[in-house]
Structure formats: structure tokens, C-alpha cells
Amino acid sequence: MKLIPVSEAKARLTELVKSSKDDDVVLLRYGRPAAVLMSTDRYDALMERLEDLEDSLAIADAAGEETEPAAGAFARLGLRVPERA
């Protein structure tokens, strides 16, 4: 994951879009994460995984099954728990 200030990203946008195929780019505003630039393949894969997780939770809820905490689900999917702003 690359961390790039927005001010620097403006001048390097084409380069950063190309590099996002291999590595996510986190854009920083005032030193804090503001946005993420990622490839469309990675975005599509994440959205598919999220939809699958939502479907699993809906099925478990309808069946009255106990569900796992969000932090556990994120970890199982290999994702970081989003930080609150």
C-alpha cells in the first residue's frame, strides 16, 4: 500500500492509476487517509466478497443463527476493520 499526499497525487495521477494495478494507493489529506485508489479488478473482487458476506449474514439471520462480530468477519476476509473518523 502506497501513501501519497493528495497534493502530490495531482501531478502523478496517470502514474498512480497504473501502479494501482499492483498496489493500492491511499491518498492523504493533511496527513490523514482521505481516499483509496485501487484497480477495478480489486474493487470488483472486494464488492463480490462483500455481497457474499451480506448474503451469508442474511441467511444466518433468517435461520436464527448466531452471527460473528464484524471484526471477525473482516479478519476472515483478510480485510482491515475501517477506522472511525
Number of Cα atoms under 13 Å in the Cβ half of residue 53? 19
Instruction: Provide the whole-model pTM.
Output: 0.62
Return the CATH architecture of domain 2-38: 3-Layer(aba) Sandwich (3.40)
| C-alpha–C-alpha distance, residues 63 and 16, integer Å | 45
Per-residue pLDDT tens over the stretch 10-58: 999 999 999 999 999 999 999 999 999 999 999 999 999 988 888 887 7
| C-alpha–C-alpha distance, residues 15 and 22, integer Å | 12
| C-alpha–C-alpha distance, residues 16 and 25, integer Å | 7
Locate the domains of the chain by residue range. 2-38, 41-76
